[in-house]
Amino acid sequence: MKASTRIAACLLMIGVLLAIGCSNGSDSDSSGSPDASPNNELAPMTITYAAGDNNPLWDGMQSEVGKRITEKTGISMKAQFPISVNDTDMFALMVANNEYPDIVSAKGSVGKLKDAGALIDLTPLIEEHAPNIKKVYGEYMKRLRWSNDDHGIYVLPSAPVNQTYFNAGTGFELQHAVLKELNYPRIKTVQDFENALKAYYDKHKTTADGQPIIPLTLNGGGWQFLISVTNPAVAATGAPDEGEFYIDPDTYNAKLHYLRPEEKEYFRWLNHMHDIGLLDPESFVQKPDQYGAKIASGRVLGLIDRDWGFAGEVAALRKEGKFDQTYAHFPVTMDESYKRYDFQSPGYLAGTGISITTSAKDPVRVIKFLDFLASDEGQVLINWGIEGKHYKVENGKRVIPEDILNWKVNDNWNFRKTTGVDMYRFGPSYGDGVKDQTGNYYTTVFPEQIEKEYTQADRETLAAYNIKSYKDLWPAKEEFPVRPWGSAWNINMVTGSEANAIFQQCQDIVKRRITQAILAEPEQFDAIWDDFMTELERAGVEKLNEEFTKLVKDRVQLWKE
């Protein structure tokens, strides 16, 4: 699964959470030297950090958990975020100026920094100063190696280790109000989804407060186009959602997934939804904040998105008591011949995470800081908060008090920003379902806790479908083999390579042609699609497929050794 709630949140927010200024380390209050002795390990020190995503909840380490981390380590952080949603310009400028912050979460740009010689090989630092980091990654340490030719460790992956997915955070979403009025109909195919939207919309054109209802909207105006528009075409047609490529599970041959004929029919269905007036015509021009505002107003009946893409809006609806206008998740496919692969295991996903740069004033101090966060004490702190304030221990079990739980569930953004809970999970971390030596879970995501956090609307919907969680509607991970290459989206092309150039050109074609095809008159769809395929061919998509196939096979070999 490309990103469950947990992984998706981590991958989108890891660098988001604590990003920092990029002044070549000149802002560091480096009371400790690179050879810091035990006597000054807690001396105040500010490290700079740059992240590839923006984070509206960044608290400057002034939250309760943030302050406790500083108290325990002496470290505070100065954050730098990208000006736009794309991290490319920010990291490219660093390379051009040869100026870097102490640490980075460079996401897809990590290859640029590595090629520029900006990242430290962390292997000796881990061996000497980071026992907790070694413990977290355990048997997966070999997956941290950069390549078959370079076994150095340049990134500490933020993907949770030994993650168990207890809940579904993807699929197609419908408001509880829609399901309740229609007596909880079967929702398995796109036709079922369409029927539910149409039946409700035929009766209700406005909300109770007079706002026009939107049957279905997509977050297609920015890079989220991939998440809300194109990736669902893969998932709904019986293949793993791995980003922009489909990998043959037997041969490891890769191809841009739009070349799969099954997906053409998914986009034809979106064209049909637009034609009959159920798809928001602003879907491909609206900005994320416009998309979010519509959801937060309670007037959007259906979504096709990952839950982290609208989590803040759901939190706002809950805060206002509009529980029926929040959403249930369904594993929708084109027809019942397809199976959703969302819970297929990719194994441990190394790749995206935290790197220490050559500009770091005190890399030993930084790795020790990261090692504290990876320790049992650090993991409990960042996931549960402070004992006596955010949780208590009863009969040996960590428990979230009812008032704190209500705050967390019904006003989640303010809860996280104030407390800092769930805001510092970057770098090495244990996944949901992993227990510490006391027998408690490291994270707060496990079946008993999930059940406590359901709203009454959730409980009614789950009961109607005779399930305990939305995940129960999906095929289990045991039905699929583990993918030996991990996930295609986690495999980076070489910066400046011919394949990378072709890929960027194909991305431009995809956004333009698919938008055109969905918004066209139905009788024009096939001709536009044919032009789309021809344009990809002229751009060199076959060469791209060949080069990415090599990368996939290299990954399989690297992880096999």
Flag whether pLDDT at 31 surpasses 60. no
Flag whether pLDDT at 544 surpasses 90. yes
User: What is the average pLDDT score of the chain?
Assistant: 90
- 50-64: per-residue pLDDT in tens? 988 777 788 889 999
pLDDT, position 561 = 66
pLDDT, position 2 = 40
Flag whether pLDDT at 11 surpasses 60. no
Flag whether pLDDT at 19 surpasses 50. no
Q: Quick one: pLDDT band at residue 88, thresholds 50, 70, 90?
A: low
- 259-318: per-residue pLDDT in tens? 999 999 999 999 999 999 999 999 999 999 999 999 999 999 999 999 999 998 999 999
Tell me the percentage of the chain whose pLDDT exceeds 90: 80
- Counting DSSP H helices and E strands in the chain, the numbers are 22, 13
Neighbours of 319 (CB within 10 A): 16
Q: Quick one: pLDDT band at residue 32, thresholds 50, 70, 90?
A: very low
Q: Quick one: pLDDT band at residue 554, thresholds 50, 70, 90?
A: very high
How large is the C-alpha radius of gyration of the chain?
A: 23
Sheet with 353-356, side-by-side order of all strands: 75-80, 45-51, 103-105, 353-356, 156-157
Could you give the CA distance from residue 218 to residue 342 in angstroms, rounded to a whole number? 20
Mean predicted confidence (pLDDT) in 413-432: 92
Q: What is the pTM of this model?
A: 0.84
- Spacing of C-alpha 388 from chain mean position: 31
CATH architecture group of domain 5-164+350-403: 3-Layer(aba) Sandwich (3.40)
Q: Quick one: pLDDT band at residue 82, thresholds 50, 70, 90?
A: confident
Q: What is the 3-state secondary structure (H, E, C) of 30-83?
A: CCCCCCCCHHHCCCCEEEEEEECCCCCCCCCCCCHHHHHHHHHHCEEEEEECCC
Tell me the percentage of the chain whose pLDDT exceeds 70: 92
Flag whether pLDDT at 226 surpasses 80. yes
Looking at the DSSP assignment, which residues form a beta bridge with residue 51? 105
- 481-503: per-residue pLDDT in tens? 999 999 999 898 887 889 999 99
pLDDT, position 25 = 37
Mean predicted confidence (pLDDT) in 457-465: 98
Domain boundaries along the sequence of the chain:
5-164+350-403
Reduce the DSSP state of residue 514 to 3 states and report it: helix
Could you give the CA distance from residue 311 to residue 314 in angstroms, rounded to a whole number? 5
pLDDT, position 81 = 81
